[in-house]
Chains A and B, each alone.
Chain A
Amino acid sequence: MNRIVSRTRLSDEVYKVEIEAPQIARERKAGQFVIIQTDVEWGERIPLTIADADPHRGTITIIFQTVGVSTHKLALLEPGDSLEAVLGPLGNPTHIERFGRAVCVGGGIGVAPLHPIAQALKQAGNHLTVIVGARTKDLVILEDEMRAVADELIIVTDDGTYGRKALVTEPLKELCQGDNKPDIVVAIGPPIMMKFCAESTRPFGVKTLASLNTIMIDGTGMCGGCRVSIGGATKFVCVDGPEFDAHQVDWDGMMTRLRAYKGIEDEAHKEFHEGGCRLDSLAEAARAEALGARTDGGSR
C-alpha cells in the first residue's frame, strides 16, 4: 500500500499527487513511469509518468488530468488514503548528455513528465530553452518550476490568454531557423502536438525525441498492447521506450491505436458523472480530447 502524502489541484482538471514509494523514489530516473491502481480487484492499471521524486522523503509525484473514470477515482483520493498498487519505475530512462543547445517542448499535461527531463538536461550542462503550450491560461502548469530551470522560457496559448498566441510549433520552428539551431529537441504532449513537432524539426535535421503514452496493461513487456511502429519495426513502448526518435514514429498508426476503446470509455465516463461524481470539473470528453490522452493513460 502506498500512502498519499499530498494532493494539489493545478487547474480545473489537473492534479498533482505525492505518493509514498521509497524504492521507486530511489531508483527512478528522468523519463520513467509508474503503473498505479486505486483498487487491485476491479481497478485499471494506469500508466503515469513520474513528474518528480524525493528519495529522502521516499516519495514520488505524479501529475495527471482527469479524463476517464480511473483518473477521476484517483483524483478523489485524499492525503492519508492509500493506493493499492504502484509499480515502477518502468521504461528506459531518458538518455541525458551534454548535447549543447536543448529545447524542451511541453503541451498541456505533457509539461509534467517533461520537467524532470528538462532538469536533467540543464544539470548536464545544456543551454535549455523550454516551450510550454496550453489551450488557455488556466491550463498552463509548472510555469515557475520551468522558469527556475530554463535559460529561456517561452509560453504559448492557443487562445492568446497568456503568453504568445501560437501553437508550440511556431517558436520551435523559429529556433530551428535561427543561428543557434537546437542540438536536441524533446517533445511531450498530445500525440498530434508531438507529430507536428517532429514535422517542424525534420527539415532542419534536428534530433527530436518524443515520449509516448500508448495503451498498456502490464508495463513490463508482457501484453504488447503498447506496440507502435518505429521506422517500420514494431516496438513496445513499455520496454523499448517510452522515448523514441520522433521522426521515426508512425504517428497516425499510434493515434489510431489510442482510440481503440474510445467508445467504451466515453460511455463509462458519462455513466460515472451521471452517477454523481464529486469532482466539480465536469470536463466534457471533447475538451479532454483536445488536450490529448497524455497521462490519463489507463490500461484501456
Chain B
Amino acid sequence: MNGGNTTDLASQARALLADIEQKTLTNKDRMALPVQDMPCQEPAVRAHNMDEVALGYTEAQARIEAARCLQCKNAPCVAGCPVSIDIPGFVGLVAKGDYQGAATVIHRTNLLPAICGRVCPQEKQCQAPCTLGKALKGVDRAVQIGRLERFVADRERAAGGAPMPHVQPQTGKRVAVIGSGPAGLTVAADVRRDGHEVVIFEAFQKPGGVMVYGIPEFRLPKAIVREEAAKLERMGVRFELNTLVGRTVPLAELLQEEGFDAAFIGVGAGLPKFMDIPGENLVGVFSANEYLTRANLMRAWDRERAATPIYPSKRVAVLGGGNVAMDSARMALRLGADEVHVLYRRTREEMPARAEEVGHAQEEGVVFDFLASPTEVLGSDKGIVTGLRVMSYRLGEPDASGRRSPVAIDGSEHDVAFDTVIVAVGNESNPLLAKTTPGLAVDKKGHVLVDEHQKTALDGVWAGGDIVLGAATVILAMGEGRRAAAAINAYLKGK
C-alpha cells in the first residue's frame, strides 16, 4: 500500500496533469482523479539502509493531489488538525502552483511542517473527516493532506528555507523552556516571536527530544530537526544542552534566582513501561526507548564509527502495536535481523500505529503475529533470551473504549524462539521534575495537571506534550505548545 514505483508514478502524474490543466474541473472530475501514491524506496532495498523511506511527491503529483480537494466551505479537515492549519487555503494554492503562497499559509499556524508532514497520523486527524474520503468511502481516499504539507515544506527547504519569523523588539522578559521536543520547540518559537528571551534546557547532547532519540532517520531525517533548531538559534533562542532541570538546576531556582519570568515544562513521557512478566530482565530484552536511543541518538547503526554498541539480533520479537513498535521492528531489520515479528494482542484494525507505518513494515518483511501476547520471556541458564512463551487471544465484546477486548484462549500457550525482545508498550511519566519541584501538581500517573491554557498549579509555570497527555503524538504536543505559548505571552504582557 501507499508505495509505488517512483518513475511510473512521476510519468503518470505528468501525463494526467497535462490533461487536466486544459480544462475546468467539476467536483465530479475532481472526485475521479486518482489518489497519488507516495513514491518510496523499494522495500527490499530500504530494509537495509537508513535513508528516508518516503521520497516525497513530484510537482505534478502534488498538483493533482491538490486538485482532488473539493474546497468545502465548512472545511471539516481544519477541525481535525490540532494546530488548525488552513488546509483548503494551502491546498488550493498548491493546485495553482503557488507553493510559496502555500508555505506562507501553513506557517501561520504550524512552525514545523516538514516534520508534521512526515510523522502526523493524518488518517486520524485532518484526513479522517475529509469530505472526499467520506464520499469515496475510505479514509485512504481522502485528500492526502500530510503528503501535500510535506511537499510544500520540502520545496521551501530546497529553496533556502522558510523566511525568518519576525521577532518583536526585546521585552526584557525571560522564559525557560524545559525539554527540546516538539512541544518545547513550538513554545520557544512562539514566545521568542513576542520579543522575550528564551532559553531551552535539554538533558541530551542534541536538541529535538523524541524526534532525535526516538523517531528513526528513515522516517524523519535528523537534518530536518537540526535545521529547525538552527532556525530557532538564528531567532535568538539559546540552547543549554546536557542540563537536566530538577538535577543540574532546580526549576524553582530558575524562577527565583536566575531571573526567569516564566517556564514551560515539555519533558515528555520518558519512563518505559514493561510487560511485568517473568524473564523481562534477561539479557536481550530491551525497552523500545533503549533500542531506538542506541540506534538513533547514539547512532549505533553505524558500527564502524559509533562507540555505543547495539545487540546483535537475528530473531526479534517486538511487543506492542503503536508507532514506536513499528519503528523498533523496522530498525531491527535495518540493523541486520533475519526475522522480525510484531506481537499484538488484538488485530490490525485495533492497532494504534499509523496505517502507513504498518504498511511499510509489512512491505519490508516484518511479520505480524496478531492476537498474540507473551506470558513469559524464556532464557538460557546463562540468563540470555531464547524465546517467548506466547498466549493466543480472540476478540471478545467491545470494552469501555469501544474496542473489542482480547480474551486469552485457555491452553493456547506455545513457545517461539527469539534472541531479542523489544518492549514497546508505552511510557509512563518521568517522576524527576515533580519530585524535585514542590507545589507542581500531578495526577496519580504522574502527568502534570494543567488548566485549559496549559497552566500548572505553580505560578508562572505552564506544561504541555506527553508529560501532560501521556504518550501521544508530535502534533498534539505542538498544539499544546501553541496554547501554552499564547498564555505565556499574555501573562508576560501583563507583568
Complex: how many Å from CA A27 to CA B249? 7
Q: Which one of A23, A40, A220, A259 contacts B205 once the chains associate, using CB atoms below 8 Å?
A: A40
State in angstroms the CA–CA spacing of A300 and B311 once bound together.
Answer: 9
Contact with B along A145-169 (1 / 0, CB 8 A): 0000000000000000000000000
Q: Is the CB of B274 within 8 A of A44?
A: no
Would B203 and A44 count as touching, CB distance under 8 A? no
In contact, A300 and B244 (Cβ under 8 angstroms): no
- Residues of A in contact (CB 8 Å), total 48
Residues facing B in A253-300 (CB within 8 A) are 253, 256-257, 259-261, 264-265, 268, 298-300
- B490 on interface, CB distance cutoff 8 Å: no
B307 in contact with A217 (CB, 8 Å): no
Contacts of A24 in B (CB 8 A): 248
Inter-chain contact A85/B293, CB cutoff 8 Å: no
Q: In this assembly, does A195 line the interface, its C-beta being within 8 Å of a C-beta of chain B? A: no
Interface string of A89-101 (1 = CB under 8 A from B): 1100000000000
Instruction: Please choose the segment from B69-77, B82-90, B282-290, B408-416 that sits at the chain A interface, where 4 or more of its residues have CB less than 8 A away.
Output: B282-290
Task: Return the CB mask of B284-313 against A: 1 if under 8 Å, else 0.
Answer: 101101100110001100100111110110
Please tell me if B226 contacts chain A, counting CB pairs below 8 Å: no
Task: Say whether A183 faces chain B, with CB atoms less than 8 Å apart.
Answer: no
Q: What's the nearest-Cβ distance from chain B to residue A273, in Å?
A: 15
Docked-complex contact A220 and B203, CB < 8 angstroms: yes
Let me know if B308 and A217 touch, CB within 8 A.
yes
Q: How many Å lie between the Cα of A23 and that of B290 in the bound state? A: 28
Taken residue by residue from 384 to 420, chain B's Cβ proximity to chain A (1 for < 8 Å, 0 otherwise) reads as 1000000000000000000000000000000000000
- In the bound assembly, the distance between CA atoms of A27 and B253 in angstroms comes to 11
Q: How far is the CA of A37 from the CA of B297 in the complex (A)?
A: 13
Q: How far is the CA of A275 from the CA of B390 in the complex (A)?
A: 46
User: Which listed segment binds B: A103-111, A118-126, A172-180, A223-231?
Assistant: A223-231
Note all chain A residues with C-beta closer than 8 A to B298.
44-45, 217, 299
State A127–B353 Cα separation when bound (angstroms). Answer: 59
Kindly report which residue of chain B lies nearest to residue A24, judged by CB atoms. Answer: B248
B270 at the A interface (CB under 8 A)? yes
- Cα distance, A250 to B306, chains bound together (Å): 31
- Among B206, B213, B282, B311, the residue within 8 A (CB) of A40 is B206
Report if B271 contacts A (CB, 8 A): yes
* Minimal beta-carbon separation of B315 from chain A (angstroms): 17
Chain B contacts for A220, CB-based, 8 A = 203, 244, 270, 430, 432
Whether A221 contacts B430 in the complex (CB less than 8 A), given A86-B242, A257-B281, comes out as yes
Q: How far is the CB of A136 from chain B (nearest CB, A)?
A: 30
Identify the closest chain B residue to A217 (Cβ): B293
Q: Which positions 69-99 of chain A face chain B at CB distance < 8 Å?
A: 69-70, 84-90
Knowing A23-B248, A217-B298 are in contact, say whether A227-B293 is a contact too (CB < 8 A): no
Tell me the minimal C-beta distance from B35 to chain A in angstroms: 39
Interface residue? A222 (CB, 8 A):
yes
| A69: chain B residues within 8 A (beta carbon) | 307
- Look across to chain A and name the residue whose beta carbon is closest to the beta carbon of B271: A221
Residues of the A chain whose Cβ atoms lie less than 8 Å from the Cβ of B270: 220-222
Does A54 reach chain B (CB closer than 8 Å)? Answer: no
A260 to B302, alpha carbons, bound, how many Å? Answer: 19
Give the docked Cα–Cα distance between A85 and B243 (Å).
10
A239 on the B face (CB < 8 A): yes
A229-B205 in contact (CB<8A): no
Distance in Å: Cβ of A84 to nearest Cβ of chain B: 7
Chain B 193-221 interface 0/1 with A at a Cβ cutoff of 8 Å (1 = within): 00000000001111000000100000000
Given contacts A42-B307, A45-B298, A259-B283, contact A225 B290 (CB under 8 A): yes
Are A221 and B307 in contact, CB atoms less than 8 angstroms apart? no
Given contacts A85-B205, A220-B270, contact A253 B383 (CB under 8 A): yes
Give the chain A neighbours of B244 by CB distance below 8 A. Answer: 87-88, 90, 220
Tell me the nearest residue of chain B to A2, going by C-beta.
Answer: B242
Give every chain B residue within 8 A of A42 (Cβ-Cβ).
299, 302, 305-307
Chain B residues near A217 (CB-CB < 8 A): 290, 293-294, 298, 308
CB of A43 within 8 Å of the partner chain: yes
A199 adjacent to chain B (CB < 8 Å): no
B305 touches A85 (CB 8 A): no
Question: Is B241 in contact with chain A by the CB < 8 A criterion?
Answer: yes
Interface size on B, residues (CB 8 A): 43
By beta carbon, the residue of chain A nearest B206 is A40
Cα A90 to Cα B246 in complex, Å, equals 10
B97 CB–A CB distance under 8 Å: no
CB-CB < 8 A to B248: which residues of A?
Answer: 23-24, 27, 87-89
Min distance, Cβ B324 to any Cβ of chain A, angstroms? 13
Which residues in chain A, 13-38, are within 8 Å of chain B measured between CB atoms? 23-24, 27, 37
CB neighbours of A264 from chain B (8 A): 309, 312
Is A234 an interface residue when CB atoms closer than 8 A count as contact? yes
With A85-B242, A220-B203, A300-B309 as contacts: A234 and B247 at CB distance below 8 Å: no
B290 to A, closest residue via Cβ: A223
Interface residue A245 (Cβ < 8 Å from any Cβ of B): no
B408-459 residues at the A interface, CB under 8 angstroms: 430-432
Q: How far is the CB of A269 from chain B (nearest CB, A)?
A: 11
Q: Are A222 and B293 in contact (CB under 8 A)?
A: yes
Chain A contacts for B234, CB-based, 8 A: none
Contact, CB under 8 Å: A234 / B382:
no
Chain B residue nearest to A300 in the complex (CB): B309
Taken residue by residue from 178 to 220, chain A's Cβ proximity to chain B (1 for < 8 Å, 0 otherwise) reads as 0000000000000000000000000000000000000001101
B322 interface residue (CB < 8 Å to A)? no
Could you tell me the distance between the alpha carbons of A43 and B306 in the complex, rounded to whole angstroms? 6
Name the residue of chain B whose CB is nearest to the CB of A44. Answer: B307
CA distance A253 to B311 in the complex (A): 18
- Please give me the residue from chain A that is nearest to B276 by CB atom: A234
Instruction: Using CB atoms, name the residue of chain A closest to B267.
Output: A220
For residue B133, CB closer than 8 A to chain A, the reply is no
Q: Which residues of A contact B312 (CB under 8 A)?
A: 264
Interface string of A224-253 (1 = CB under 8 A from B): 110111000010100100000000001011
Choose from A84, A228, A298 the contact partner of B281 (Cβ within 8 Å): A228
Name the contact of B308 in the complex, choosing from A27, A44, A84, A236 (C-beta under 8 A). A44
Please determine whether A261 and B311 come into contact, CB atoms closer than 8 angstroms.
Answer: yes
How many angstroms between the C-alpha atoms of A40 and B247 in the bound complex? 21
Interface-centre pick from A24, A85, A222, A298 (highest chain B CB count, 10 A): A222
A260 vs B383: C-alpha distance when bound (angstroms): 10
User: Roughly how many angstroms separate A27 CA and B203 CA in the complex, as a whole number?
Assistant: 16
Return chain A residues, CB-CB under 8 Å to B280. Answer: 234
The minimal Cβ–Cβ distance linking B184 to chain A, given in whole angstroms, is: 15
Residues in B whose Cβ lies below 8 Å from that of A227:
274, 281
What's the minimum C-beta distance from B41 to chain A, rounded to whole angstroms? 25
Does B272 sit at the interface, judged by CB under 8 A? Answer: yes
Cα separation A27 to B213 with both chains bound (whole Å): 27
Which has the most chain A C-beta neighbours within 10 Å: B270, B284, B311? B270
The one of A87, A222, A256 in contact with B271, judged by C-beta atoms closer than 8 angstroms, is A222
Residues of A at under 8 Å CB distance from B?
A: 23-24, 27, 37, 39-45, 69-70, 84-90, 217-218, 220-225, 227-229, 234, 236, 239, 250, 252-253, 256-257, 259-261, 264-265, 268, 298-300
6 contacting pairs across A/B (C-beta < 8 A): A45-B298, A217-B293, A218-B213, A239-B432, A252-B383, A300-B309
